[in-house]
Copies of this chain bind each other. A is one copy, B any other.
Amino acid sequence: MKTHKRLGILTSGGDCPGLNAVIRAVVSHAIMTYDWEVLGIPYATKGLLERKAIPLSRHGLDLRGIDPLLNMGGTILGSINKGDTLDRIDEIIASYQYLELDALIGIGGDGSLAILNKLQIAGNWQFIAIPKTIDNDVALTDRVVGFDTAVNTIVDSLNRLTFTAASHDRIMIVEVMGRSAGHLALHSGIAGGADVILIPEIPYSIQGICEHLKELRDNWGRRFAILIVAEGVKIADDSSMYRSSQIPNCGIGQYIADEIRNCSHNELDIRVSVLGHIQRGGIPTALDRLVASAFGKAAVDLIAAGESGKMVAWRNGQVEAVSLDAVLAESPLYVAANSYLVDTARALGIYVGNTEET
């Protein structure tokens, strides 16, 4: 293993806050501690295929020493959500050789990491993965880059929506990201004071929601309500207005609104808010910056130690390296129906779908 390295770094999959903080940490540590060369590969495997690489330096992004990376959401390297990468493995391996890379650090969610893992095996690359995803569904790590900022963004939106819902005694339905995992909805719903949290992992019924809203109003004096719904939630089994294939055009939030309007005999004033892409953006929180910095540092050290095929992970308050194969064998990580946070939500009087007894 030679001492000097030409290290590539890329960001893959949907963007999130904290990616630039990872890039900053990797570049700083690789250059200042190890005196390596660092190349940024734009647009993930697409840039690799096109043999593009941007030299990154501690100076490169500076204006008189000002480094905006810590405060910027998104990724300066650009990213792609998916590509035709796996059809062109040989070309990508040839690009890697053409660029004379000695090692690669890839930041991605479970989809991107699966692709990158196949590439590294095929190309026999030295490769270290860093987990990022606002969905929080990568296995074997307690923390990923981006999740904490996304939760805070949603909580901020819930605060805003609560003020206006309360002023007009409205039912406010808030659709958030989460196609198969409901961590975002669960965490932000508890922290943001929701009355109902619907996530893909836990079955619910229209009747259950309607009864809960009635109880809140009749017994607890709450004249408005906040419902948070993950986008991946399906039509309920006891749906009276829709069949399972009929999610409305404007999203699952609209469906819930239609059903509640129906079960309340049009007596409730109901509004739907689809938070959309604002959940991906934003200045990263302190925790996301800290996790990003610790992960970036650890990934560079793993490269220096000759490791490969590992993912950096936050486990039990420490940064560790875990086998990427093991992570991918388990991902995605879903919300367990009996998890402590689900119980906490219910203890606070939040409807989180039907309990088994019901």
Contact = CB atoms under 8 A, between A and B. Distances in A.
Interface of A: 11, 14-15, 17, 19, 25, 28-29, 32-33, 42, 58-59, 61-68, 70-76, 78-81, 142, 148, 151-155, 157, 159-169, 172, 187-188, 190-193, 220-224, 249-250, 271-278, 280-283, 285-287, 289-290, 293-294, 297, 300-301, 316-319, 340-341, 343-344, 347-349
Contact of A75 (B42, B167, B192, B271): B167
A166 B74 contact: yes
A355 to B, nearest CB: 13
A73 B158 CA distance: 12
A290 B64 CA distance: 26
Contacts of A287: 148, 151, 191, 287
Contacts of A285: 152, 285
A157 B66 CA distance: 16
Count of chain copies: 4
A319 B342 CA distance: 13
A111 to B, nearest CB: 15
A344 B168 CA distance: 30
Given A28-B349, A163-B15, A290-B341, A78 B64 contact: yes
Given A220-B58, A220-B59, A277 B348 contact: no
Contacts of A62: 221-222
